[in-house]
């Protein structure tokens, strides 16, 4: 349902207006330098679908190398919405991660 909405021409036009001009410039402005990533001391959880066609798996693999307190879970046969595609397992991961962080 969400992919259908995202592919709707009206939604696409709205997106184009929000991110008019050089889209890469908007994305680059939000990138943290490696030094800043290395200073993040909060535990981080990365969850990624191996077959994600929107955000490449390499993005999470890069963060896995840069964040000091990180764990990563990759789902096969999953795309961009692992929280829907593997809902039970996804929620169990979140519960476990936040319960460990509370200790």
Q: Are 82 and 49 in contact (CB under 8 A)?
A: yes
Stated as kind and residue range, the H or E segment containing 33 is none
Strand, helix or coil for residue 60: helix
List, in sequence order, every residue forming a beta bridge with 44; answer none if it has no partner. Answer: 70
26, 48, 80, 95: the active-site residue: 80
Our answer to whether residue 80 is catalytic in this structure is: yes
Which of the residues are catalytic?
80
């Amino acid at each position: 349902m969400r992919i259908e909405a995202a592919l709707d021409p009206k939604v696409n036009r709205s997106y184009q207006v929000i991110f008019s001009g050089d889209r890469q410039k908007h994305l680059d402005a939000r990138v943290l330098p490696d030094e800043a990533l290395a200073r993040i001391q909060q535990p981080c959880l990365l969850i990624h679908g191996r077959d994600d066609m929107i955000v490449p798996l390499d993005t999470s693999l890069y963060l896995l190398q840069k964040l000091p307190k990180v764990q990563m879970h990759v789902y096969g046969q999953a795309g961009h919405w692992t929280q829907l595609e593997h809902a039970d397992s996804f929620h169990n991961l979140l519960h476990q991660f936040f319960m460990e962080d509370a200790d």
